[in-house]
Amino acid sequence: MEYEFTLRLKLVTDVANADEVVERLGIAGCDDALVGIGQPGRVALHFTRNAESAEKAIISALKDVKSAIPEAKLLEVGPDFVGLTDVAEMVGVTRQNMRKLMMTHADSFPAAVHEGSAALWHLAHLLHWLSDRNGYRIEQSLLDVAYIAMQINLTKEAGQLEPRVRREVRALVA
């Protein structure tokens, strides 16, 4: 099956040459990715990868990238963090329709992971919520990619917690 996802990475200064980065990625097997190098010190790779599962597709891409640029630091796997406009576009409705769903189903609508001038949700939570409702057909590959992207991003962030803090927080949120 074919899976689409994006890896966003931070580069160290000694591999900041764009042509070198692109060449190294191609040699390492990332020839199924479009490479974005517009922001200095960053690279984004939009993959369309065939694999048995979304997990295998994303993990294999991460391994290929790591072999090409071992110094690169993963910033985010996407799609994961989205606003209402993003998810509305993915499922073929208007932003206003998504906002109406959020307001009329406040008790069951997934909680945002960030609220402020721009609210953000984990795409996997929104897609699962929508797929449980009649009339919203969500492609399984998108559900799978969103779930694995969220898992990798959460694991990456949790790895930055000090063990003492992790224990205390776990006890409070469990």
In the chain, domain spans:
2-78, 81-138
| CB within 8 Å of 147: residues ≥ 6 apart | 54, 124
Same topology between domain 2-78 and domain 81-138: no
Q: Minimal CA–CA distance to 66: which of 43, 48, 41, 49?
A: 43
CATH topology of domain 2-78: Alpha-Beta Plaits (3.30.70)
Q: What is the pLDDT of residues 76-126, one digit of tens each?
A: 999 999 999 999 999 999 999 999 999 999 999 999 999 988 899 999 999
pLDDT score, position 97 = 93
Residue type, 10: K
- State the CATH class of domain 81-138: mainly alpha
Residues of the chain where predicted confidence (pLDDT) is lower than 70: 13-16, 134, 174
The model's pTM: 0.89
pLDDT score, position 125 = 97
